[in-house]
Amino acid sequence: MTSRKSYAWRGFAAAVVATLAWPGSAIASPTAGAIVGRVVDQDTRQPLDGVTVVVSGPQGDQATLTDAKGQYELRGLPIGDYLVRFFRGAVAIEQSATVLMDQTVRVNARLPSAPEAVQTIAVTQRAPAIDVVRPASVSR
């Protein structure tokens, strides 16, 4: 015969296991945080759209782009130390950040103006003419 205490204990144990296994539960995922921020031009203070943001941390690299307001966010990052790099054209800067349990870290950046590189190619010779009517002969 099983006592009521035994059933109560089994129910409690099942509830704890279910809570730990449930995706998104507070107990199951307290080891994540986020890095968010805004990227602006250092001279005009205008937001920069399309800046590549790469965070390198305990589990590798994650990347995103800034939106039209210069904002970005990377969520669900494991706790730990990160190197946050910002790329725009030939300009790159980096900053360090530490993600703590269930916290959002703000890392803003000011990038210098990056003039777009223009490359000019001058063609000085014509390609040789190819005779498309007469098949080429093969000599052996």
Residues 96 and 78 in one domain: yes
Residues 2 and 61 in one domain: no
For position 66, which CATH number holds? 2.60.40.10
> How many residues appear in the chain?
140
Residues 1 and 14 in one domain: yes
Domain presence at residue 131: no
Domain presence at residue 126: no
Residues 82 and 99 in one domain: yes
Give the CA angle between residues 105, 81, 78 to the nearest 5°.
75
Domain presence at residue 136: no
Nearest alpha carbon to residue 27 among 17, 36, 37? 17
Residue with the larger pLDDT of the pair 131 and 59: 59
Range of the domain at 92: 31-111
pTM of the model: 0.61
Q: What is the pLDDT of residues 63-92, one digit of tens each?
A: 999 999 999 999 999 999 999 999 998 899
Give the total number of structural domains in the chain: 2
